[in-house]
Amino acid sequence: MQRFIETHTNEHFDVIVIGGGITGASVAYEAATRGLKVALLEKKDFSWATSAVTSKLIHGGLRYLANGEIALVRESLRERRVLENIAPNFVYPTPMMMTHNSRPLKNNKWVVKIGMLMYDALSYDKNFTWDKSKQIPMHRTISKEEVLRREPQVRPDGLTGASIFYDCTSIFPERLTLAFIKSAYAHGAKVANHAQVEGFILGVDHAVKGVQVKDLLTGKTHRVEGSVTVNCSGPWADIMLSLAKEGGNGSGALRRSEGIHIITKKRLVSGTYVVGSMTPAGRHFFLIPWRGHTLIGTTDKPYTGNPDEYRVTRQSILELIDEVNSCYGDGTLGYGDVCHTYGGLRPLVEDQTEETYTSSRRYEIYDNADDGLDGLITVEGGKYTTSRMLAENCLKVVAAKLRRDLGRSTTAGRHLAGCDIPDLCAFLFTVQRDNRDFGGPTLEYLSRNYGTDYAEVLALARDDRTKAEVLNADGEIMAEVLYAVRREMARTLSDIVMRRTGIGTLGNPGEEVLRKVAELAASELSWDNARMEQEIAATMELLTLP
């Protein structure tokens, strides 16, 4: 992929998408498959914000049933199956164990049983998957004794049993988002990261005719003109919208909630199940086996202030640790056990509730012509799982504004770029069989996270065997760094270690590894020594626990 902003002249687009998270990526992909000329702009890196701070789950939203959001749950379950189909190497069925206690009432096993029966019914098409190895069974209920046998760290006090059901995990959400962007690019979309929209181009009737963009890598400003602009900037949606309004100052009033996760090497779960527990206050958290570690999350509390200034705080980490210790394990999880943390903001679309945990995760698509800003559409809310469907619905609004028949969506029926794998088990076996000059963990990691593109990474390592050097226990190799820069538009060290590879996503890999990666990136991107040291320092700071 190439950053189109570097050579952009006066090309006119049908659709300009602002935001390179999963929502913007999905909208760009959907629009490109309909034959539209598309430009996608992201002010930092693709999937750097909300889309990168998930719980690694692609789920139906069981808890939303308690809010009566049956349509949202049904849509989520349908889209869970679609993502299993179109991204088979990224999305996998995973057994979930939801523990039950005598209190609170909503965690009573008989109350939850009703919800589980509804969940099974709403996912009636869950086994209509292209790859028949991804079959999902119905839920079942197990006894207290069976829970403790399978997951010994579940606290026995008040325990009445557990429900076993299936949802899906997404092993690398940042690369799954990138697969949507690569798919858009393959269908002709022009994309650019590190390209910040600083304002809108307005016509005499105040209609939006495009955007003013600053290339943050060169400092140059460009006009990008288009017929329709779609604001997919997530927690920044209101701030972006205000820039188009007369006298707008880049401020807004969107409701946002904070969610954080922590990662620990401490073995808190068996590794077989994602374990869900409920706090005494009635809020769920999950303990998720992930790359030999335990991923714990998420929190959900209101956030006020500029989203650009958001950072995970030590207080938030300690609050999550306290929640876990209050109802799970032996109560000794401590700050010193945390090897990495991440957090971000979710945009919320309604204000009926004060408590963000009970707020809806539905999405809304606004035609801003109602605000006097014809040519602008704003998308708010939503969840990772339903982003493809959100994009399909967004294109209905785009089609109306363009006054064009764009046909029907095809994105649910085709694999994403690099994901054309009819039989995942056969694919993984073939990769191991045909590439015995590389270690098993390396082949396992590359085949799952790069899909059919894994061969291009191996080719780089075969051309220069120094690039076959293994960097971590997952088997990641130096050739991934070259591939990230040359083929996947990585332009900073954090782009490489946090979103193209998993080198930094379990915490600080150490200065020696970061320096090796930075030196290779510097040779590819023509960084001088000062720039390289700056990149290392910035990434070390990013990976330092608050």
- In this predicted structure, which of 114-128, 131-145, 233-247, 359-373 has the lowest mean pLDDT? 359-373
Cα separation of 222 and 537, whole Å?
30
Residue 247 is predicted with a pLDDT of 58
Residue 531 is predicted with a pLDDT of 98
Mean of pLDDT values over 500-525: 97
Instruction: Tell me what percent of the residues of the chain surpass a pLDDT of 70.
Output: 96
Residue 90 is predicted with a pLDDT of 98
pLDDT tens figures, 60-72: 988 888 888 999 9
pLDDT tens figures, 218-261: 999 999 999 999 999 999 999 999 999 865 544 456 889 999 99
- In this predicted structure, which of 183-187, 279-283, 332-336, 493-497 has the lowest mean pLDDT? 279-283
Q: 464 - beta bridge partners?
A: none
pLDDT tens figures, 256-314: 999 999 999 999 999 999 999 988 777 889 999 999 999 999 998 899 889 999 999 99
Mean of pLDDT values over 129-153: 96
The DSSP string of 328-379 is BTTS---GGGEEEEEEEEEEE---S-SSGGGS---EEEEEGGGGT-TTEEEE
Burial letters for 294-329: b for 16+ Cβ neighbours within 10 Å, e otherwise? bbbbbbbeebeeebeebebeeebbeebbebbeebbb
The yes-or-no verdict on residue 350 having pLDDT over 80 is no
Residue 310 is predicted with a pLDDT of 95
Residue 356 is predicted with a pLDDT of 45
For tokens 């080719």, what's the residue?
Answer: 459
Residue 206 is predicted with a pLDDT of 87
- What are the C-alpha distances in Å from 27 to residues 112, 377, 503? 36, 12, 29
Confidence band for 360, pLDDT divided at 50, 70 and 90: very low
Confidence band for 349, pLDDT divided at 50, 70 and 90: low
Residue 279 is predicted with a pLDDT of 82
Residue 50 is predicted with a pLDDT of 94
pLDDT tens figures, 446-487: 999 999 999 999 999 999 999 999 999 999 999 999 999 999
Q: What angle do CA 317, 161, 337 make, to 5 degrees?
A: 25
CB 195, CB 48: distance < 8 Å = no
The yes-or-no verdict on residue 210 having pLDDT over 80 is yes
Residue 139 is predicted with a pLDDT of 96
The yes-or-no verdict on residue 102 having pLDDT over 90 is no
C-beta neighbour count of 535 within 10 angstroms: 22
C-beta neighbour count of 247 within 10 angstroms: 5
Cα separation of 450 and 174, whole Å?
12
User: Would you state the structure tokens that stand for residue 125, as one six-digit string?
Assistant: 């098409």
Residue 175 is predicted with a pLDDT of 98
Residue 282 is predicted with a pLDDT of 77
Q: 467 - beta bridge partners?
A: none
Residue 105 is predicted with a pLDDT of 74
Residue 251 is predicted with a pLDDT of 47
- In this predicted structure, which of 88-92, 200-204, 523-527 has the lowest mean pLDDT? 200-204
Cα separation of 31 and 37, whole Å?
8
Peptide bond before 353: cis, by omega within 30 degrees of 0? no
Mean of pLDDT values over 493-506: 98
C-beta neighbour count of 128 within 10 angstroms: 10
- Nearest-CA neighbor of 195 among 378, 51, 36, 7? 7
The yes-or-no verdict on residue 87 having pLDDT over 70 is yes
Q: pTM of this prediction?
A: 0.95
- In this predicted structure, which of 38-42, 240-244, 442-446 has the lowest mean pLDDT? 240-244
Q: Which domains does the chain have, with CATH numbers?
A: 4-50+174-253+362-413 (3.50.50.60), 91-170+255-358 (3.30.9.10), 424-542 (1.10.8.870)
The yes-or-no verdict on residue 351 having pLDDT over 60 is no
Q: What is the pLDDT of the chain when averaged over all its residues?
A: 94
Mean of pLDDT values over 87-94: 98
